[in-house]
Amino acid sequence: MSTELKDDLRRFLHWGPITLLTLLLIVTWTVIHMNSMWWAPDTSLESVLNYALIWVQTFGTLYNFIRSLMVGPGFVPLKWHPPVRKDKKFLQFCTRCNGYKAPRSHHCQRCGRCVMKMDHHCPWINTCVGWSNQDSFVYFLLFFMSGSIQGGIIIVSAVTRGIQKRWLIRHGLHHMATVHLTQTNLMACVFSLGVIMGTTLASITLLYMQLKVILKNQTEIDLWIVKKAAFRRNAYPQKRIKDFVYPYNLGWKANIREVFLSSGDGISWPVLPGCDEYSLTREQLQQKKDKRARTRVFRCIRPATGHWLPIFSQGLWVSFHIPCPHGSRIALEPDDIIHVTRIQECWLYGERMITEKEKVEMRRRKGAIRGWFPSCCAVEECEDYDSENDLAGGEPVEEQDSDQEILELLRNLHAPAC
């Protein structure tokens, strides 16, 4: 068995896919059981079509779910670099993948790779939604939503018929008094109905977000870059920065074809006239430069565990003010230097600088290197550190001859486990 196939199968061993498949099994069993009493498939042609539709939507959901998970979003090859050497200056370098980030690609900490046209990391499929699997993900949401709606209608109708069973018998409608409610199937119906309501709302929300992404050809990350581009120009009007034009919105028809009928490679993308393939990446690099200019340097004075809720180490107050449930946490040791870019009450977001010991030993400490940590664990430093030479994986590092030694050291560092 190939390594790639093992990695694909390993994605199933996660709480997201296991939970989703378990709930799908319970709800499908409940729907089929109640449908067999409420509208048995051998009573009419319509009942056969209804029964067939249940299985079509079930298999459609399973097929597109498995395809989204197994195919994956598409990863930028390790050690990738642009065909034209001079184009490297327009791209960010990822030290974890030891290569350059292709246009529209971003490094996912959970996947441990740079993802082509990354939209977001979905825990339910235990991988990212990106170039290769966005169409399957949308189909999965459509089948899941329509199947949930049909299942909800069947369960409600069957339970209603079961509650009215005595009334139907008294009025001589014995042919309709076919639903027999028991404690087991009634509990299964209540549970399944709750699951259906929750998943239907979630599916509608996700489907709406994906349709916006597809129609504008603008992923959630692209949208964030565009917002920051507008902020740069509004915040510094005196600099007269040239207006930024998002290069990938080709019109809704072309955008739809790109997602569902695309035969591209996930690296090169068609752009609007007047733009080129590096229009977005140049804006990203400038935003990173501005971000580094705003960076504040902190020094760790007490250990940070890297736990999501550091109740025992930092107390309840810090734990009750968690900044972002989807943001990673970093573990720190005294005297670590952190480049902080976001400050919130009780928490700071930054990137730990690689220590000299890690460079010498060619080995990096376990755990994330960029994320949130309690503000009480660090104090701001007045001394100015050279951030360009000590950035960790994910930040842009321009490959220059004067920095070659440090780059070679960074490339050989092992990526932390996600």
Active site residues: 122
Closest CA to 154 of 53, 24, 42, 22: 53
Q: How far apart are CA 72 and CA 97, in angstroms?
A: 17
Q: 106: which residues sit within 8 A by CB, 6+ positions away?
A: 114, 115, 118, 221
Closest CA to 319 of 370, 374, 371: 374
Token pair of 265 as six digits: 């490679």
Q: How far apart are CA 62 and CA 52, in angstroms?
A: 15
Token pair of 338 as six digits: 């952190």
Q: How far apart are CA 327 and CA 100, in angstroms?
A: 24
Q: How far apart are CA 38 and CA 44, in angstroms?
A: 13
Q: Is 407 left (phi over 0), alpha (psi -120 to 50) or beta?
A: alpha
> Which run of H or of E encompasses 100?
strand 99-100
Q: Please, are residues 249 and 190 in contact by the beta-carbon 8 Å criterion?
A: no
Closest CA to 302 of 268, 254, 336, 341: 336
